[in-house]
Structure 1
Amino acid sequence: MTTEWCLDESFWEAQYECFFTPDRFAAAPGEVDRLLALTGVTSGSVLDVCCGPGRHAIELARRGLRVVGVDGSAYLLERARRAAGSAGVDVEWVRSDVRHLQLADTFDLAVCLWTSFGYFDDASDDVLFARRVRERLAPGGIFLLEMLSKEILAQVFSPASAKVLADGTVEVQLAEVGESWTRFRNTMLYVRGDAVRRVHFEPAAERRVRGRHAVRVAGRHPLRAGRAAPDRGGQRMSKPTAAPRVTVPAATPESIFLTGGAGFIGSHCADALLASGRSVTIFDNLSTGSRAWLDAQRGRPGLRVVIADLADHGRLRREMGGHGAVWHLAASADIPGGYEDTRMDLDSSVAGTRNVLEAMRATGVRTLLFSSSGAVYGLPGEHGVTEAAGPLLPNSLYSASKLAAEAFISAYCHLFGLRAWIFRFGNVLGARMPRGVIRDFATRLARDPRHLEILGDGRQAKSYLLVEECIEGMLHLAGTVEADEDRPCRVVNLGASGTTDVQGIARRVIAELGLEDVAITVRGDRFAWPGDQPRVRLDVSLAAAHGWRARRTSDEAVDEAVRRMVAHLGLDRAVAAGGVAGS
């Protein structure tokens, strides 16, 4: 078996009855009682990573908490769905390798139970695991990580043991500890009649030390991300915020099929279109979309929500038919994650876009608006880049996937009579951003209001644009930049005038939080992370020539976005008043 045995569906199908016995399910209520008593969490939201068949997630939901369960096994998640249905509780189940987890929401509590941590060969994967969980913690959130130390292992260790399972199968466990008690080699034999099934895996024996190290590297403070700030409305952070007003031209089609409609930009698009009286079908797998925002939209006139993946060809075609246009915004936006998982961008952006185009062919929908990125320009230097710039040499898998998707769109337009507008965005800002420099600075200052570290060389400067202006630009330019037989696919840069440097953003966040004497340090070189685009300025002359300009400069957009984000997170001036502090 490979080192990725924990993601092997055949392993879990074969081992399910052995691992998840009735007595283990019966123990779950008591275990949940103890973890809630330990953490002090009595309400809010919980992220259960490596949730398996949902033993603890279902019990947490029974207690009135909003629960998202994450696991890499589709088989275990299907068992969890059935169990939750039988229990009459609502849990959101997400299939993902936690190392590459992308969720928009943040959580009051994250748990990883039943010693599910520490099975990777490479300890850097432990850090990546912990970092992904920490990113999803609200300020004040708690990460409870259950681990088995080598001291406990030494007390219970036996080189061989056997037992008879309920169905008569004999389970034989052969164990060996090696490498100074750092690895635990485990071979399980399941004997029934003449059939013998062998399973081998090697967890880290000293998972406690590895776990503590991973959590510290991922965020400095084990367990707590900081104490929660008081808020004005009696709610915790990261609740859905009201959408800024957007003007929708009369010529916009009456029905829109919106992929990625639960995401940051997509949810604002849906808000604008629905407010104008259009009907919208959101097609989203919720890998990065916000369940909280969707829940707030229930019953809204004109809205249909389809929770499905772009890889589901049949569902995509069935749901797309009859719409006036497709707005394709679904994609991974995790540039560092694409560096770790080199298939992620290929699957989400390239294959996903091809599936959307095929569905358009099959259903006869001819109009497409596509969200690309200024990242396709790679490393353009100091000068503004126009749509005619080239050759385009991406420096991340995210930007490579966007460029590849653009190429597929162009080819389908020329070959199959589609009409498309490709918008290369600058950095789009708003309160619902699940990541980004403003949110990152605000949450880190909530944990430590005395110090802020900036990654890179501190000279990064980019063009920033508010989300409502981005959407207005798309709507306006899709109606004024003509796509015809000779040019069926048009590319337009969308951005504000000027750029804003990263240290200027840091100063703005510090000021909005009312902080003084914050020590700012800069660590790194030119690139803050693999695939970073340190300096980019979009030339928006084409958009201006067709009657559209952003109302705010990049600096003004950042000012407004900082105000929105601080209020959205519930921080306001509480940091300066002592309401939030590093633990």
Structure 2
Amino acid sequence: MKVLVTGGAGFIGSHLVDTLMKEEHEVRVLDDLSAGSLENIKRWLDHERFEFIKGDMRDLSVVKKAIGGVDAVFHLAANPEVRIGAQSPELLYETNVAITYNLLEAIKDSAVEYLVFTSSSTVYGDAKVIPTPEDAWLEPISVYGGAKLAAEALISGYAHTFGFRALVLRLANIIGERSNHGVIYDFINKLRMNPKELEILGDGTQKKSYLHVSDTVEGILHIFEHFRRGAKSFDVYNLGNDDWITVKEIAEIVSEEMKLKPLFKFTGGVDGGRGWKGDVKLMLLSIEKAKSTGWKPRMNSYEAVRRTVEELLG
């Protein structure tokens, strides 16, 4: 296939690009490099099957140019920071909803057959059922989660109206090499600055599911192939792990791997121990639907956290 990966220079996107190139697809990346880095994809820059376009998806003409001649679009471009929603909701709208609208406007008049969108577990908010299945009630408690859900809804509407097929993947917390934000990245940087004390947002009992990026990419491509063989215009899958881990346990693993014994200083957080306003305190996705396709993660949450700490420490 000839594929476009939006946000392909970013954390998850660059790992996806690596696999697509190894599978001998023609790959085009569209990225404005606001969150991504050319360093992540430098090994492919001169390859005959690879093309990089630096561009802002808020410009429709840029998006229309980028989708020319492609069969499938993997849409990973987004602002990855959940916390920014409280300070800058308009930025989350522009870099999640508006760019998705532009992409859909470009796709509807094109030959693109498939759109794969990486959404988020945050669309569920404080889930009423845990593990949370795909048909659970959707009530985001952050602007980030709301923006992801808005993008999902637009994609569903466009796919049904304009005749292309769309797959939505709701991701748990994705971690691994090249990540440049999130709790593990933050803990490592804090301990490098002050090895004796570690500030932990919230009360430390926040408990979530973590998936290593290698398992994530494998899951994205496996479920996409399963979806292609089916007949649905639109479908949704959770991608996560069967277990979960607390923030305090993550802090202990990071400290152990760095051979430190810092004093943990909990901020207490907001709204019953959350790290910040809009932080989902408990998240465990049901991945039974994904596993029914033949995929399952190779690492559990604990193993993924430890592997990520090793990778980020180099």
Calculate the TM-score normalised by the size of structure 1. 0.52
Provide the C-alpha distance between the structure 2 equivalents of 1:316 and 1:453, rounded to a whole number of angstroms. Answer: 41
Q: Offset of 1:382 from its aligned partner?
A: 7.1
Q: Distance in 2 between matches of 1:319 and 1:332?
A: 19
Corresponding residue SS for 1:362: coil
Query: Contact 1:374–1:426 (CA<8 Å) still a contact in 2?
Result: yes
**CA pair 267-482 structure 1, distance change in 2 beyond 3 A:** closer
**Partner Cα separation in structure 2 for residue 382 and residue 499 of structure 1:** 15
Q: Which residue number in structure 2 is paired with residue 530 of structure 1?
A: 277
Q: Which residue identity lines up with residue 505 of structure 1 in the other structure? A: I
Hey, what's the Cα distance between the residues in 2 that align with 1:300 and 1:563? 30
Question: How far apart, CA to CA, are the structure 2 residues paired with 1:494 and 1:272?
Answer: 18
Kept in 1: contact 2:84–2:92 (CA 8 A): no
Say yes or no: does 1:321 pair with 2:65. Answer: no
Q: 1:294 to 1:478 in 2, by over 3 A?
A: closer
% identical aligned pairs: 37
Larger CA Rg, structure 1 vs 2: 1
Partner of 1:475: 221
CA contact (8 A) 1:317 1:362 kept: no
Q: Distance in 2 between matches of 1:291 and 1:398?
A: 25
- Counterparts of 1:279-294 in structure 2, within 5 Å, are 279-294=26-41
User: 1:38-91: per-residue Cα shift (whole Å, max 9, x none)?
Assistant: xxxxxxxxxxxxxxxxxxxxxxxxxxxxxxxxxxxxxxxxxxxxxxxxxxxxxx
Aligned to 2:191: 445
- Give distance in 2, aligned partners of 1:453 and 1:311: 37
Structure 1 residue 488 corresponds to structure 2 residue 233:
yes
1:266 maps to what in 2?
Answer: 13
Residue number in structure 2 paired with 1:560: 307
Q: CA deviation at 1:296?
A: 4.9
Structure-2 separation of matches of 1:470 and 1:452: 29
1:103-160 deviation line (CA, Å, top 9, x unaligned): xxxxxxxxxxxxxxxxxxxxxxxxxxxxxxxxxxxxxxxxxxxxxxxxxxxxxxxxxx
Q: 1:301: Cα distance to partner?
A: 3.4
Tell me which residue corresponds to 1:156.
none
The runs of at least 4 consecutive aligned structure 1 residues that moved more than 4 Å come to 482-485
- Structure 1 residue 508 and structure 2 residue 245: aligned? no
1:477 maps to amino acid = I
Conservation of the 8 A alpha-carbon contact between 1:419 and 1:484: no
Aligned partner of 1:499 in structure 2 is 244
Matched with 2:209 is 463
Return the offset for 1:289: 1.1
Task: Return the alpha-carbon distance in structure 2 between the equivalents of residues 291 and 478 of structure 1.
Answer: 26
For residues 259-302 of structure 1, the C-alpha deviation after alignment (integer angstroms, 9 at most, x for no partner) is 00111001111111112211111001111111333445431331
The match for 2:176 is 430
- Name the counterpart of 1:276: 23
Matched to 2:149, the amino acid is L
Q: Report the Cα distance in structure 2 between the residues aligned to 1:294 and 1:464, rounded to whole angstroms.
A: 24
Contact 1:381-1:536 at 8 Å conserved across structures: no
Q: Does structure 2 conserve the Cα–Cα contact (< 8 Å) formed by 1:280 and 1:302? A: yes
- In structure 1, the residue matched to 2:126 is 379
Gaps of 5+ in 2: none
**1:133-532 to 2 correspondence within 5 Å?**
254-380=1-127, 383-390=130-137, 392-481=138-227, 487-516=232-261, 518-525=262-269, 526-532=273-279
The 3 A distance-change label for structure 1 pair 315 and 453 is closer
Q: Which moved more, 1:505-514 or 1:299-308?
A: 299-308
Select the structure with the greater relative contact order (CA < 8 A; seq sep ≥ 6): 2
In 2, Cα distance between the equivalents of 1:521 and 1:381? Answer: 30
Q: For the residues of structure 1 that align with 2:77 and 2:266, how far apart are their CA atoms?
A: 34
* Alignment-derived partner of residue 108 in structure 1: none
Q: Which runs of 5+ in 1 are unaligned?
A: 1-253, 568-583
Query: Is the 2:3–2:25 Cα contact (8 Å) retained in structure 1?
Result: yes
Cα distance in 2 for residues equivalent to 1:400 and 1:347: 13
- 2:310 and 2:222 map into 1 onto residues whose CA distance is 27
- Give the counterpart letter for 1:349 in structure 2: N
TM-score computed with the length of structure 2 as normaliser? 0.95
Give CA deviations for 1:152-200 in whole Å, capped at 9, x if unaligned: xxxxxxxxxxxxxxxxxxxxxxxxxxxxxxxxxxxxxxxxxxxxxxxxx
| 1:329 Cα deviation from its structure 2 partner | 0.4
One-letter amino acid of the structure 1 residue matched with residue 93 of structure 2: L
What does 1:97-136 align with in structure 2 at a 5 Å threshold? none
> Which letter maps to 2:267?
R
- CA-atom RMSD, angstroms? 1.5
C-alpha separation between the residues in 1 aligned to 2:128 and 2:201? 19
Aligned length: 311
